[in-house]
Amino acid sequence: MGQTLRVATLNIWGRHGDWDARREVLQEGFRALQPDLIALQETVVTDESDQTAELFGDDWHVLHQGRRSTDGTGCSIVSRWPAVAVEEVDLCVTDRVDPDDFPGRTTAAEFETPAGPVLFVNHKPNWQLAYERERELQAVTAARAIERITAGRELHVVLAGDFDARPETGSIRFWTGRQSLGDLSVNYQDAWEFAHPGESGHTFTVENPAILAEADWGRIPARRIDYVMVRCDLRGPTLRIRSAERLFDRPVRGVFGSDHFGVIAELEELSG
């Protein structure tokens, strides 16, 4: 059996709702889960406060996205190991993308892990329902950057985040090798789909009453929009997907950790 890697993603919903109660739930949950790499979306970091530090303290390595919205919202990566290299990819691909509302970056960070060198990519495209063209262009932009960073090198690539797109949309079909976009094709294995074929795995749903705290979100059908994916070589994912489960999909003391459910996947180094 090869070395394993536990990878998680969660949109933590900024400071919305009852943050004090949610913070306790998230702290306890991550402490119990013990992931190795975590992609976080909608973390609030300002000169006065750091939401990620409130959750994880000083025992982890943290990377914050450089460009953030006017209230400090952006993305962060939390890791057991320091990053070897970091690159941010600009996702402001059309004039409809407003960096004050949407920070517009994908963060690609390289780590030396027991399962081998890993490029861990926290991808957060636009959220607006009618912006699938932007999400497609953002997917191609991020994929091209990954191919450039990894060219000629043996690196596992693990892609995670809140992609704000259902599995049947063009941007997700592109990532999972079902279609090409912009004269480029790639192939990433969706960990949930591999571990739970045919199961919906919704991560944004009124099963979670927290989404009703924001006006009108209850009108949207349940969706699976949060993903952990592993890049494939010619035969399949370069890390074996041993399991994938939803995160924070049950209330604790009546409190849901976020308006999203997250995803955690256990990945294993291929041997032999």
pLDDT of 272 over the 70 cut: no
Can you give the three-state secondary structure of the chain, one letter per residue? CCCEEEEEEEECCCCCCCHHHHHHHHHHHHHHHCCCEEEEEEEEECCCCEHHHHHHCCCCEEEECCCCCCCCEEEEEEECCCCCEEEEEECCCCCCCCCCCCCCEEEEEEEEECCEEEEEEECCCCCCCCCHHHHHHHHHHHHHHHHHHHCCCCCEEEEEEECCCCCCCHHHHHHCCCCCECCECCCEEEHHHHHCCCCCCCCECCCCHHHHHCCCHHHCCCECCEEEEEEECCCCECEEEEEEEEECCCCECCECCCCCCEEEEEEEECCC
Q: For residue 70, what are the domain limits?
A: 4-269
pLDDT of 169 over the 70 cut: yes
What average pLDDT is seen over the chain?
A: 94
Q: Which is it for strands 4-11 and 37-44: parallel, antiparallel or unpaired?
A: parallel
CATH number at residue 41: 3.60.10.10
pLDDT of 61 over the 70 cut: yes
Higher per-residue confidence, 80 vs 210: 80
Residue 150 near residue 121, CB atoms below 8 Å: no
Instruction: Supply the pLDDT for residue 3.
Output: 94
Give residue-wise pLDDT tens across range 75-87: 999 999 999 999 9
Instruction: Supply the pLDDT for residue 141.
Output: 97
Residue 6 near residue 247, CB atoms below 8 Å: no
CA distance 111 to 119: 6
Global pTM reads 0.96
Higher per-residue confidence, 28 vs 213: 28
Residue 248 near residue 13, CB atoms below 8 Å: no
Average pLDDT of the segment spanning 131-151: 97
Instruction: Supply the pLDDT for residue 214.
Output: 67
Instruction: Supply the pLDDT for residue 209.
Output: 85
Give residue-wise pLDDT tens across range 26-50: 999 999 999 999 999 999 999 898 9
Instruction: Supply the pLDDT for residue 215.
Output: 61
Percent of the chain scored above 70 by pLDDT? 98
Give residue-wise pLDDT tens across range 2-22: 899 999 999 999 999 999 999
What total number of domains does the chain contain?
1
The strand pairing partners of 241, in sequence order, are 267
Lowest mean pLDDT across 47-51, 94-98, 102-106? 102-106
